Amino acid sequence: MPLLCSVKIHRANYDLILKTLAAYPAKLVAVSKTQPIESIREMYVLGQREFGENYVQEMTEKYSVLPKDINWHFIGHLQSNKVKYIAPYCGLIHGIDSGRILKEVNKQARKNERLQDCLLQIHIAKEESKFGFSFDEAKNLLLGNELKALESVRVLGFMGMASNTDDPQKIRKEFESLRMFKESVQKATLPSNCKLEELSMGMSGDYQIALDEGSTLVRIGTALFGERNYPTV
Ligand SMILES: *Cc1c(COP(=O)(O)O)cnc(C)c1O
């Protein structure tokens, strides 16, 4: 008897999201945190190559067993002592939220003889205590002398998470504020290791708004994989 593999991913949503994205200059990062290897494989077979994870150990385990042409996005809060585990292979780190962590990423990238692409996480959800730089802090980091010296990192843009609210106007304003920030910083003379091309905004519940506000990377988990398998920490 053939072994029937149960379908784990939401195929119809995947197709719909790709169809939606085709009208924008944006890519899908499939957020596979807490999801099993088989679900990632299923999506890989459909052609998906960009996957996002929040936990260093989990991402590294998945990296070690899955095909090497997957581009791994680290989207969680990164601790300095764990950078070394993802430095050999991580494609894009979305959650740089301090100068200190950027320095450590630079150090580990140099050790691995890699150029590590990063995004600065900006705190755009005003009322929520989330990680991230304020606009001023991010601007100071990009335009000061600090970034120039970090030759093994490249800052490609910004990441932001909107408030967890049902009010689409509020979400739109927060995403819009990040797009406008990017546009204003782009006018300045930036160091050569800073190319502001990416805006990582939008999750399962708000990606359409994010796309309309200029997102280039949507990070979608639940809509593709269903509810997560264990509580996030
Ligand atoms: C979990 C997570 C996502 C995906 O959220 P969904 O609502 O499941 O699409 C996106 N971005 C970050 C930073 C996350 O931690």
CB within 6 Å of ligand 1 — which residues?
A: 31, 33, 54, 75, 161, 203-205, 219-223
Which pLDDT tens digits describe the chain residue by residue (233 residues)? 455 555 579 999 999 999 999 999 999 999 999 999 999 999 999 999 999 999 999 999 999 999 999 999 999 999 999 999 999 999 999 999 999 999 999 999 999 999 999 999 999 997 666 689 999 999 999 999 899 999 999 999 999 999 999 999 999 999 999 999 999 999 999 999 999 999 999 999 999 999 999 999 999 999 999 988 665 54
State which ligand 1 atom lies nearest to the alpha carbon of 232. Answer: 1
**How remote is the CA of residue 114 from the centroid of ligand 1, in Å?**
27
pTM of the model: 0.94
How many Cβ atoms sit within 10 Å of the Cβ of residue 25?
10
What single letter denotes the amino acid at residue 67? P
Residues 6+ apart with CB under 8 A from 130: 123, 161
The DSSP bridge partners found for residue 122 are 133, 160
**How remote is the CA of residue 44 from the centroid of ligand 1, in Å?**
19
Q: Is 70 helix (H, G, I), strand (E, B) or coil?
A: coil
Choose which residue among 73, 203, 220 to substitute to test ligand 1 binding: the one with the highest number of ligand atoms within 8 A of its C-beta: 203
Distance CA 78, CA 206 (A): 24
Tell me the angle at which helices 168-186 and 135-143 cross, rounded to the nearest 10 degrees: 20
State which ligand 1 atom lies nearest to the alpha carbon of 223. Answer: 9
**How remote is the CA of residue 95 from the centroid of ligand 1, in Å?**
12
**How remote is the CA of residue 6 from the centroid of ligand 1, in Å?**
24
The DSSP bridge partners found for residue 154 are 117
- Both tokens of 185, joined, read 């910083």
Residue with the smallest CA separation from ligand 1 atom 10 is 219
Distances (CA, A) of 195 to 103, 142, 188: 18, 10, 11
**How remote is the CA of residue 201 from the centroid of ligand 1, in Å?**
10
In sequence order, what E strands does 99-182 have?
A: 116-122, 153-160
